[in-house]
Amino acid sequence: MNKLKFAGILPALMTAFGDDGIDKDKIKRHIKRLAAAGVNGFYIGGSSGEMVLCSVDERKRLLEASVEAVGELVGQLSVIVHTGAMSTSDALDLTRHAAKTGATAVSSVTPLYYKYSFNEIKHYYEQLANASNLPVIIYNIPAITGTTLSHAQLSELLSIDNVGGMKFTSSDFFTLNLLTQEFPDKVFYNGSDEMLLSGLAAGADGGIGTTYNFIPKHIVGIYKNFRDGNITRAHELQSRANKIIDTVVRLGTLPASKYMIKLSGLDYGECREPFLPLSDAAKHELEVSAWSQIAEFEK
């Protein structure tokens, strides 16, 4: 696995829906806009993509549209697709489809809902790793999955053949730093948008996040300034981004993020139920307290 090929800023792509399911045209337009802002790749079909609200067929069509859009761009952009599912059979089906479609890597959260043992979790990742030749990026997000793995357990998962790295969505930067030292050849992504700079300082090679969909220039700026040693400027950009992130999270992360995409120039529609549309008051607050503060920078 070429670690440099995967490093950088990857928006956790949001999904646009139309009357027939996936709105491929809007998704492709959004990808091209983000690429123009300087991102290094895309994370497809994860939490931000409303994957648990999509059918397996829709998730496949989302990846196909994404790979097609990236293929039309100049330069090499990575496409990591989340293939995790409630059933292992669906996860394996999506993983094999990803390999055939042209994804760069696959990823998955730990198995959900039931309280699985660590041996069961490890076996799940071993099956994904053996399902194709694509590297597997483990998605560690204990706040959502309800599964908190120890440093030793995360190390054991990272030692599985064909596991290429981890998306680390946790504030436990001590463990992240230890893992980056223990596995220097694997790629690590910070997963908490509001703590990108902290994750980079702990050793992450880049970040994957929801708000990257509408503040890509801020996020790319944090990453590039950190790499260049301009920590003060990186901190300024993170602080400004965090004011926006705070408003978006308070009003509802996914519905508010889609409205922010609309304010940036592309009507991306609504989230699927059981998410509800934003109220007029929430939209007004996003316009006044969020978008107006960053519009000039993100143009």
**Alpha-helical segments (H) within 72-117:** 88-101
Ordered domains of the chain (ranges, CATH): 3-230 (3.20.20.70)
Half-sphere exposure of 100 (CA within 13 A, CB side): 9
**Which residues are designated catalytic?**
139, 167
Please return the burial class of 282, using the count of CB atoms within 10 Å of its CB with bins 0-12, 13-18 and 19+. Answer: middle
Amino acid at position 232, single letter = T
- Average pLDDT on 74-82 reads 88
Gap between the Cα atoms of 104 and 229, Å rounded = 29
Beta strands in the chain (DSSP E): 8-11, 17-18, 21-22, 41-44, 78-82, 105-109, 136-140, 163-168, 187-190, 206-209
Is residue 177 classed as helix, strand or coil in its secondary structure?
Answer: helix
Pick from 12-26, 70-84, 191-205, 233-247: least confident: 70-84
Share of the chain above pLDDT 90, in %: 93
* Range of lowest pLDDT (73-82, 143-152, 220-229): 73-82
- Structural contact between residues 40 and 10, judged by C-beta atoms closer than 8 angstroms: yes
Task: Tell me the average pLDDT across 153-178.
Answer: 98
Element (H, E) at 285: helix 280-285
Whether 14 contacts 258, CB under 8 Å: yes
Quote the longest CA-to-CA distance of the chain: 50
pLDDT interval class at 74 (50, 70, 90): low
In which element (H, E) is residue 161 found? none
Strands 21-22, 17-18: pairing kind: antiparallel
Mean pLDDT along residues 208-232: 98
- The pLDDT, as a whole number, for residue 47 is 96
Torsion angle of the four alpha carbons 272, 108, 143, 86, in this order, in degrees rounded to the nearest 10: 60
Residue whose C-alpha is closest to residue 3's, from 201, 205, 248: 205
Alpha-carbon gap, residue 58 to 97, rounded angstroms: 12
- Are 211 and 32 a contacting pair, CB within 8 Å? no
Which tokens in the block code for residue 121?
A: 């979790």
Instruction: Give the model's confidence band at 19: pLDDT under 50 very low, under 70 low, under 90 confident, else very high.
Output: confident
Residue at token pair 């300024």? 236
Which amino acid, one-letter code, is at 82?
H
Mean of the pLDDT values across residues 35-58? Answer: 97
Instruction: Provide the 8-state DSSP code for 211.
Output: G
